[in-house]
Amino acid sequence: MPDDQLLTTAEVAHRLRIKPETIYAYVSRGLLARVKVPGERISRFRLADVERLAARTQATRPDRDTAATMRTATTLIAYGRLHYRGVDAAKLAPVTPFEEIARWLWTGERRGESFVAAPESIDGARRASAHLPEHARTFDRLLVVVALAAAMDPLRFDLAPATVAALAPGLLATMVDALPLAGHAAADDSLAARLWPRLTREPATAEGLRALNAALVLLADHDLAASTIAVRVAASTRANPYAAVLAGLGALDGPLHGAVGGTVHRMIESALRDGVAAAIADSLRTGGLPGFGHPLYPDGDPRAAALLDLVTPLPAPGELRRAVDALISTAVRRGSRPNVDFALAVLAHTSGMGPGAAEVIFAIARTAGWIAHIIEEYAQPSNRFRWSSGYVGPPPMSV
């Protein structure tokens, strides 16, 4: 990102996590300089100046704010883009293996070796999840798989960064390889290629695998989402990495977080069956239009744009294309753009995946980011999250 890039007042406020009026207090004190752009009446600010001020103000915050900020060097959402260690994730997604991005998040090094798990771990996880009832979701199997992987790892209580980074590839490989096959396994040994036949009976294509790999990359981390906060709180108690991942999976399972993709999938099904107008009406009646809008991306979710660019060329029935286009155009007229949940549901429909596929892709991808946050949290003081409750009940009474 060039140092001479100019930011709007809203972008500066988001980056510094302050109100717009505070910006002008910084200007009046000489801490931040305004830049006049010919032909524009609004104020602009240099990116380099804003970053210097951010480093200064965030470094001098009192210790009591540490729990609230949960500082991270892994992911930044700013200027309408998602960055992994300073690199635009949407630019990485179409051309970079998920395995390479995962290692980049964990260690800051770019290596793309395959992720492999011990055969006994995969076999044990398969046998354990086989006891689930027939109606169990694929996501339910992930909970069992992670718990089983923990039980089989005698080094799970070794919290050294190198040990955690070393166990992560095996955990992700087990999460994928222990799931039952729905289709024919691909010859490719990438995680995306191994996940594909566990989500759909459709044969894998190079274009389809590229889109699935991109989805994994784009969902690998998203700063301090609710599930990531759960992971970091668990890690702060020095829960082992598997237990911290299970905490994240619990939060991710919420219908307003990782499970949104399934809701969007069913909305698209409704649009195909009953028409776009009826599908939108039903969604609005039950609380809103899932898969559109994101508070961190007022100008549109760049993850959705990147993934839809890869999904659009894939073969799809004409009625699906028309329904997707109509949903997007209707939402845009209402002032909302597609987010990554919508793009993920479109990928699932295009590839013959069921409504549970989006949540599984999300969970496997986000586990990579959680591992990075776990490593960061282990380097912080333990048990550092203890907020005041804001008690509003009756006053204490003498007995």
- Tell whether 56 and 75 lie within a shared domain: no
**18 and 91, same structural domain?**
no
Lowest mean pLDDT among 198-212, 269-283, 318-332, 381-395: 381-395
Do residues 40 and 168 both lie within one domain? no
* pLDDT band with cut points at 50, 70 and 90 for residue 173: very high
**Residue 395 lies inside a defined structural domain of this protein:** no
**H or E segment to which residue 77 belongs:** strand 75-78
Place of tokens 């299970």: 246
Q: Are residues 90 and 169 in the same domain?
A: yes
DSSP state of 82: E
What would the DSSP string read from start to end of 272-310?
A: HHH-HHHHHHHHHHTTS-TTB--TT-TT--HHHHHHHHH
75-78 sheet: strands from edge to edge: 75-78, 81-84, 87-88
Q: Is 294 a catalytic residue?
A: yes
User: Given a cut of 70, is residue 82 above it in pLDDT?
Assistant: yes
| Same-domain check for residues 37 and 96 | no
Q: Do 31 and 171 share a structural domain?
A: no
Given pLDDT bands bounded at 50, 70 and 90, which one contains residue 66? Answer: very low
Helices (H), the chain: 9-16, 20-28, 47-59, 66-69, 89-92, 98-107, 119-129, 138-151, 161-177, 191-195, 206-218, 226-236, 241-252, 260-274, 276-285, 302-311, 318-333, 340-350, 357-378
One domain, residues 32 and 94: no
Task: Evaluate whether residue 130 is within a structural domain.
Answer: yes
Task: Identify any residues that bridge with 45 across adjacent strands, giving them in sequence order.
Answer: 7, 34
Are 105 and 220 a contacting pair, CB within 8 Å? yes
Amino acid 63: pLDDT: 44
Is residue 211 within 8 Å of residue 314, measured between CB atoms?
yes
pLDDT given at position 1: 42
Whether the pLDDT of residue 184 is over 50: the answer is: yes
Containing structural domain, residue 86:
69-382
Tokens of 237: 């108690």
Among the listed residues 294, 301, 349, 373, the single catalytic one is 294
Q: How many domains is the chain partitioned into structurally?
A: 2
In this structure, the answer to whether residues 52 and 74 fall within a common structural domain is no
The token pair that represents 164 in the structure block: 């955690």
Whether 262 and 368 map to the same domain: the answer is yes
Are residues 11 and 30 located together in one domain of the fold? Answer: yes
Question: pLDDT value at position 24?
Answer: 82
pLDDT for position 59: 52
* Torsion 100-362-124-164 (CA) sign: positive
Same domain, 212 and 233: yes
Using alpha carbons, select from 258, 265, 254 the residue that is nearest to residue 347. 265
CATH number at residue 311: 1.10.580.10
Which CATH number do you get for residue 22? 1.10.1660.10
- Does 399 reside within a domain? no
pLDDT value, residue 53: 84
With cut-offs at 50, 70 and 90, classify the pLDDT of residue 379: very high
What's the Rg (C-alpha) of the chain? 23
How would you classify the pairing of strands 6-7 and 34-35?
Answer: unpaired
In a domain, residue 82? The reply is: yes
Task: Report DSSP state, residue 338.
Answer: B
Catalytic residue among 83, 341, 349, 373: 341
pLDDT category at 137 given cuts 50, 70, 90 is very high
Q: Locate tokens 């991942």: which residue?
A: 245
Residue 372 to residue 365: CA distance in whole angstroms: 12
Q: What is the mean pLDDT of the chain?
A: 91
Q: Write out 125-153 in H/E/C secondary structure.
A: HHHHHCCCCCCCCHHHHHHHHHHHHHHCC
Structure confidence by residue, pLDDT tens digits, 227-282: 999 999 999 999 999 999 999 999 999 988 998 999 999 999 999 999 999 999 99
